[in-house]
Amino acid sequence: MTFLDADGLTKVYGEGCSACLATTGPEYDRNRCPECDSVVACADVSFEVRDGEVLGIVGESGSGKSSVAEILALDADATAGTATIRGHGDVLDADYQRRREIRDEHLGMVHQHVHDGLNLSFTGGGNVAEKLLSAGWRHYGDIRSRVRGLFEETEVPVDRMDDSAETYSGGMQRRVQIAKAIANDPGLVVLDEPTTGLDVSVQARVLDTFRRLQREQDVATVVVSHDLSVVRLLADRVLVMRQGRIVEAGLTDRVMEDPHHEYTQTLINSII
Ligand SMILES: Nc1ncnc2c1ncn2[C@@H]1O[C@H](COP(=O)(O)OP(=O)(O)OP(=O)(O)O)[C@@H](O)[C@H]1O
């Protein structure tokens, strides 16, 4: 069943004008409007994600992937478009309080930059506890035992729970972000560049952990990456973005084996 229905997601940085959408995109090879100098980070991005499905969004740096992720995670406002979550209506249209509730209870986000996802001056356990507290958990013993369970599930050493997150390795910090993202059993998890900045062997372990959790928990997931090999490993379906627009969409295997768009072929060639 469809969990998320995103329709026409558009984000323009700047004043915007009537020419912005018609003068930018892959056919013009630019995302900056020549009339008003605004940046069209993404435009008319539409897709659905079903329960338990992983949708990958791939594209080179600046193609607009993070903008889509930030809109979905309710971290940024969209200029236009809707994101309908089953049972909650268009969450982009919700007021501030409602957006907070939805973000705390129904969404999980793994940020590209650790500073956006974790408070490094808190303990690792404290970071995860904060997410539980924001969803209404109150009992100290219950919170501690839930955090311990989440550390075990994401393979973060439980005996490091009370150490400052600053002292964790990059891979551990990424895992704590995953623990935090899944803490409240969200319906949707958004991962922005889940492996960037990690050593190759650490990347593989983080991806393995995430794949196992995703299978067990049947959660709708959007994974954003410039790295097609990450998306190939995780995603059932893939969207390819360029200059803020979707240039190709399909089942991951089909897109990998028979890419229709020249840009997708270039991306695939870069990982072969
Ligand atoms: N706050 C901002 N103000 C102005 N332009 C922005 C802002 N944030 C992003 N952009 C621009 O929007 C476009 C899309 O950026 P976005 O971060 O969504 O792309 P991306 O594909 O995720 O790239 P990366 O992988 O490098 O993060 C880029 O041209 C970027 O410079």
Q: What is the mean pLDDT of residues 59-84?
A: 95
Atom of ligand 1 nearest to the CA of 59: 21
Closest residue CA from atom 26 of ligand 1? 61
Any ligand 1 atom below 6 A from CB of 24: no
Distance between CA atoms of residues 179 and 182, nearest Å: 5
Residue in 211, 204, 230, 200 with CA at minimum distance from that of residue 58: 230
**What residue ranges define each of the domains in the chain, with the CATH number in brackets?**
2-271 (3.40.50.300)
Could you tell me the pTM of the whole model? 0.93
What pLDDT band is residue 272 in, cutting at 50, 70 and 90?
low
Res 64 pLDDT > 80: yes
Query: What is the per-residue pLDDT for 44?
Result: 97
Of 82, 107, 83, nearest in space to 192 by CA: 107
Query: Does residue 79 line the site of ligand 1, with CB under 6 A?
Result: no
Where would I find the H helices in 118-188?
124-134, 140-153, 170-182
* Interface pTM, i.e. ipTM: 0.96
Strand-pair partners of 107: 188
Mean pLDDT of 141-151: 96
Cβ(240) to ligand 1 under 6 A?
no
Query: Which tokens in the block code for residue 19?
Result: 């020419």
Between the CA of 62 and the centroid of ligand 1 the distance, in Å, is: 5
How many residues are listed for the chain in this entry? 272
